[in-house]
Amino acid sequence: MKADLALPLWAQTTHILTMLTIIMRKCKQLKHAGLVVVTLVLSLSLPGCALLRPMVMPTSPQDSWPTPSELGYSLQAQQVLGLTYQGQTHKMSVALEVSAQKMTLVAISAVGVPIAIINWDGEHLDKQSPTGMDLNAIPFELIMDTIFYAYWPQPSLADMLKQQQWTMTATAQQRSLYNHQQQSQIDIRFNQYQRPNGSIAITDYRTGLDIALTTIQWITTK
């Protein structure tokens, strides 16, 4: 059974990926000490770069990502992604498909058009935009990190955790990630997320970003 990627219209939502690309073309991207500084648009009512508030995004442990097959099952999911930063929230639709061979993440605009397609086969990351977006300005690797930490079995995350010198505690309701000083890095809280209207709430203490995933459809097969 294939998931229909044409999700319902989402009125009053922001094309956050498109806006990031537009702004990053206007503003110089900053880099410092291995950290990529990515700008998140929080207020679209102000002109130019004056409205930007920088968010420092840590480097992704991409070299240690698990393979798609390590998820343990095939998955087709449709969800609403909400990003909250400094009190303002932006929403978009996403579709995730995982098979033994490949993981595909699709970002979907408010009119149901795929605007970014990210593929991971366990060795290579491929990023494409049917609309011609500049995907280098967007930290898709860090979005993928969050997906792995939330969905993949804990044993398959051992290399990621080792590379970052992190530890994880996990229950059926929550996963918490700590650095080597036992400081909280990421909290992931589950609320029947495999059912329609179920959710996952993620707090990234490093960036101050809150991520909410609300499930529309969740289909798994062995």
Question: Residue 213 is which amino acid?
Answer: L
- How far apart, in whole angstroms, are the C-alpha atoms of residue 88 and residue 133? 24
- How far apart, in whole angstroms, are the C-alpha atoms of residue 219 and residue 30? 40
Please list the residues that pair with 36 across neighbouring strands.
31, 57
Structure tokens at 90: 């932006």
Q: What is the three-class DSSP state of 114?
A: strand
pLDDT of residue 137: 58
**Domains along the sequence of the chain with CATH:** 61-221 (2.50.20.10)
pLDDT of residue 30: 38
Please list the residues that pair with 187 across neighbouring strands.
176, 203
Residue 6 DSSP code: -
CB-based contact 52:28 (threshold 8 Å): no
pLDDT of residue 32: 35
pLDDT of residue 197: 96
Please list the residues that pair with 118 across neighbouring strands.
105, 127
Q: What is the pTM of this model?
A: 0.74
Q: Is 201 exposed, middle or buried (0-12, 13-18, 19+ CB in 10 A)?
A: middle
CB-based contact 182:170 (threshold 8 Å): no
pLDDT per 10-residue tile (average), the chain, 222 residues = 36 38 40 30 28 60 95 96 85 93 90 89 92 73 91 96 96 96 97 96 91 95 90
